Amino acid sequence: MDDRHRTFLSKCLSIDLEVNPSAARIFAFAAVWCDNRSSINSRTGGLERSLDQLENAILAVEHPIGHNFLHHDMEHLIARRPRLSKIIRAPVDTLWLNPLAFPRNPYHHLVKHYQDGRLATGHVNDPEMDARLVFDVFANQLDAFQEIAKSEPNVLAAYHYLTTRMDGCGGFDAVFRYLRGADCPPREKALNAMRQMLEGHGCIRRIEETLGRLDNPKNGWPMAYALSWITGAGGDSAMPPWVRAQFRETSLIIRHLRDTSCKDPCCAWCAEQNDPVRALDKWFGFQSFRPFPVDADGRSLQERIVAEAMSGTSVLGILPTGTGKSLCYQVPALSRLIKPEP
């Protein structure tokens, strides 16, 4: 690794574990520094002795780091050595940073040898190699954030605020203090940064509703991922499954901001993006839906089904042959996927 960000990275210790998933047992691990200090490797020093070395090393480390560290490696380490829960300070998980640093391609190309074919030939992961790889991933992420800040400095202010709302996020505070050269912004400054990011990307009323819910610290990371996806990726990138699993609110926030009409005729976003008739005209060139069959209120069933689907409601539509059932799923699908480019 070159000298990029070496001052910050020198404060970090990269840790990678190999765990037997059926027994939840650590069978190998390594911990490395970014310089030439000797690594800690259980395959050469034995597991218990290496864990002793790790305990001593972490006492002098500002930021233990790893890829999927917070919800995997750290939990297994603490289960094996409960004392580590009291001495691990300000960890950084590079997995959590990936969707923010690389919104259009949240799977970093270096991670776990995905590109070199060794997994396909029976290669067994080398924890020391993987731990060293984390430093390259982290340096790439820091580079990406610096590039983002050149054109959109408000983005890092928003991320700094959102990613440090929960307890145990001191490591991410240190990352963004390093990148921004400033402490975490106050609430109102961060909210204004988010408003600027979301301008033209969602319903104004829904934006204010969503920002009002950020008093709940648990909404911080989901909002950060929603901002990254909406403003930096959109339909060009799939939300990583682990984000949807660990931060379920992310998808709900995106749907609320972009795909749920506020019904206010003065809202330009909802009038343009969430109106069934406009969507029909936009995608298929028809000025209105089929007038028959109708629901109990005399409204076109075709329009009713499209409107319900566009609002996010689960729908079962049963129509006679030849009454345009295909449009009933095509219009909502196109409207949800293809929004204005970030």
Quick one: tokens of 273? 């993006």
User: Which segments of 152-267 does DSSP mark as H helices, in order?
Assistant: 153-162, 170-180, 187-198, 204-212, 220-232, 241-246, 249-254
Q: Name, in order, each residue with C-beta under 8 angstroms of 42's C-beta and a sequence gap of 6 or more.
A: 26, 28, 29, 30, 50, 51, 127
What is the predicted pLDDT for the residue at 340? 58
What is the predicted pLDDT for the residue at 95? 95
Rounded Cα distance, 262 and 203, in Å: 7
Is pLDDT above 90 for 173? yes
For the chain, the helix, strand and coil percentages under 3-state DSSP, each to the nearest 5: 55, 10, 35
Mean pLDDT of all residues belonging to the chain: 88
125-162 per-position pLDDT tens digit: 799 999 999 999 999 999 999 999 998 889 999 999 99
Q: What is the mean pLDDT of residues 25-41?
A: 93
Rounded Cα distance, 22 and 29, in Å: 17
Q: Name, in order, each residue with C-beta under 8 angstroms of 323's C-beta and a sequence gap of 6 or more.
A: 290, 292, 293, 301, 302
Is pLDDT above 70 for 270? yes
What is the predicted pLDDT for the residue at 60? 92
Q: Indicate the SS3 state at residue 23.
A: coil
Measured CA to CA in angstroms, residue 316 lies from 36, 298, 304, 328, 332 at distances of: 63, 19, 11, 10, 14
82 vs 119, more confident: 82
Write down the residue that tokens 């939990």 correspond to. Answer: 75
56-69 per-position pLDDT tens digit: 999 999 999 999 99
Query: Which of 7-11, 97-101, 171-175, 296-300 has the weakest average pLDDT?
Result: 296-300
Peptide bond into 127 cis (omega under 30): no
Quick one: tokens of 55? 């305990």
Q: What is the mean pLDDT of residues 253-278?
A: 84
Is pLDDT above 60 for 341? no
Quick one: tokens of 81? 């050595």
The percentage of the chain sitting over the pLDDT mark of 90, rounded to a whole number, equals 62
What is the predicted pLDDT for the residue at 45? 87
Cβ 339 vs Cβ 235: under 8 Å: yes
User: Which segments of 247-339 does DSSP mark as H helices, in order?
Assistant: 249-254, 268-273, 276-284, 301-310, 325-337
Is pLDDT above 50 for 121? no
From the number of C-beta atoms within 10 Å of its C-beta (0-12, 13-18, 19+), residue 326 rates as: exposed
Please report which confidence band the pLDDT of residue 119 belongs to, taking 50, 70 and 90 as the band edges.
Answer: very low
Is pLDDT above 90 for 267? no
Range(s) within the chain of domains with CATH label 3.30.420: 6-94+102-134
Q: Could you tell me the maximum CA-CA distance found in the chain, to the nearest angstrom?
A: 77
Q: What is the mean pLDDT of residues 21-26?
A: 89
259 vs 32, more confident: 32
224-243 per-position pLDDT tens digit: 999 999 988 666 567 889 99
User: What distance lies between CA 269 and its chain's CA centroid?
Assistant: 24
Please report which confidence band the pLDDT of residue 25 belongs to, taking 50, 70 and 90 as the band edges.
Answer: very high
Residue 137 identity: V
Query: Which of 53-62, 105-114, 189-198, 216-225 has the weakest average pLDDT?
Result: 105-114
What is the predicted pLDDT for the residue at 112? 53
Cβ 29 vs Cβ 18: under 8 Å: yes
CATH class of 6-94+102-134: alpha beta
Please report which confidence band the pLDDT of residue 342 belongs to, taking 50, 70 and 90 as the band edges.
Answer: very low
Quick one: tokens of 335? 């409207």
Nearest to 220 by CA among 173, 175, 174: 173
What is the predicted pLDDT for the residue at 92? 97
Is pLDDT above 60 for 320? yes
What is the predicted pLDDT for the residue at 117? 44
Q: What is the mean pLDDT of residues 80-99?
A: 94
Residue-wise DSSP of 88-145: --S-EEHHHHHHHH-TT--S-TTGGGTTTSTGGGTPPP-HHHHHHHHHHHHHHHHHHH
Q: Indicate the SS3 state at residue 320.
A: coil
